[in-house]
Amino acid sequence: MKILVLISNVPDTTTKVKFKDNKFDTTGVQWIINPWDELALTRALELKKESNGKIEKVAVAMVAEKSAEPTIRKALAMGADEAYRIDTTAKDSYSTAAELAEALKDKDFDLIMAGLESSDYNGLSVGAMLAELLGINSVSAVSGLEFDGEKFIVKRDIEGGYEKLTVQTPFVAVVQKGIAIVPLIPNMRGIMMAKRKPIHVIPAKGVEPLIEMVEFELPKPKPPVKLVETAEELINLLHNEAKVI
C-alpha cells in the first residue's frame, strides 16, 4: 500500500495578518505545514510503522514555488519517504487540485490524504475536488483511520455520531479533528535523513484559477464588552436588550 499526503504551506497560526497592495504581506512570516496536513501525515506515518511493511511508502505532495521547500523538508524529517513539488504558486482550490490531478494521474497511490482546510484561505475544497478530477472515491469528515493489514478502516463523522467503513481503493480521505492528537515532532536523525530524501519537482501545467480574491479587509474593532456586576443584570440584558433568551 502507498499513501500520499497533500500538504500546503501556510503562515504560522499565530501570525499577525497584514495586507500590502491588497496582497497578504509575507514580511517576517514563519511558514509551517498546514496543521491538518501535519496531523494527517502523523497518522499516515504511525500506520506505516505499525503495518509490518505492508504500507511501503508515505509520500507528500505540494503545489508551491521553490521557496516552500523548507516546509517540505520538515515533512521529510517527520518521516515521509519522498516528496513531489508541483512547481507553481497555488492560486485557488481548483487550479491546485487540477495541477495535483495532472501530476498524480500515473502514480498508483492507494490512499491520498488531504486536510479539512488550509489555514490561510480556508478553501475547504482541494481533497474532494482532486478525487473528482481523478475520478476516484472520496470520504470526507474522516476523524480516524486504521489499517487491518489489508485494507483501511475509515471512521467518519456523521450527524450526531460516527460510522466506520471501508472504501474501494484508490480513494481520497479528507481528514479533520480526531485523525491524530499531537503532531509528530522530527528528531535529529529524521532531520539528517531528510537532507538525502528526494523532492521530485514536477513542472506545472499552468491551470488558470476560477476565483480571485480582489480585496482584503481586517475585521472591524468590536464595541467594548458591557460588564455587569450581577447575574440578574446579565440575564435582564440578554432578555431585554439583546432579546436572545
Partner 1 sequence: MILAYIQNFDGKLKKASFEIASYAAAIAKMANTEVLGIVLGQIPDDQLQKLSQYGVNKLVNVTSPNLEPFDPKVYTEAVAKIAENNQITGFVFINNNEGRAIAPRIAARFKAGIVSAVTQLPESVNPLTITKKVFTGKAFAKTIVKSDKFVITLFQNSYGLQEVPVDMTIEKIELDLPQPAITVIEKNVDISGKIPLTEAEIVVSGGRGMKGPEYWGPLEEFARLLGAATACSRPVADEGWRPASEHVGQTGKIIAPTVYFAFGISGAIQHIGGVSNSKYIVAVNIDKDAPIFEVADYGIVGDAHKILPELIEAVKKLKQSDS
Ligand X SMILES: Cc1cc2nc3c(=O)[nH]c(=O)nc-3n(C[C@H](O)[C@H](O)[C@H](O)COP(=O)(O)OP(=O)(O)OC[C@H]3O[C@@H](n4cnc5c(N)ncnc54)[C@H](O)[C@@H]3O)c2cc1C
**What part of residues 2-41 is at the interface with partner 1 (CB under 8 A)?**
11, 13-15, 17, 19, 35
Q: Which is nearer to ligand X, 13 or 137 (CB)?
A: 13
Cα–Cα–Cα angle for 46, 137, 123, nearest 5°? 80
d(CA 46, CA 40): 10
Question: Which among 142, 127, 56, 54 is positioned nearest to 96, based on CA atoms?
Answer: 127
Q: Which is nearer to ligand AMP, 29 or 237 (CB)?
A: 29
Count the neighbouring beta carbons within 10 Å of the beta carbon of residue 176: 17
162 binds, among ligand X, ligand AMP, partner 1, none (CB under 5 to 8 A by kind): partner 1
Q: Give the nearest distance from C-beta 130 to ligand AMP in angstroms.
A: 8
Binding to partner 1 (CB under 8 A) within 39-58 occurs at none
In the numeric block, which cell numbers belong to residue 124? 475547504
Residue 35 sits in the site that holds ligand X (CB under 6 A): yes
Residue 13 sits in the site that holds ligand X (CB under 6 A): yes
Binding to partner 1 (CB under 8 A) within 190-209 occurs at 209
d(CA 2, CA 221): 48
CA 56 to chain centre: 22
Backbone φ and ψ for 165, nearest 5 degrees, come out as -150, 165
Residue 11 sits in the site that holds ligand AMP (CB under 6 A): no
Chain residues in the site for ligand AMP (CB under 6 A): 6-8, 34, 36-37, 61-64, 90, 93, 96, 114-115, 117-118, 122-127
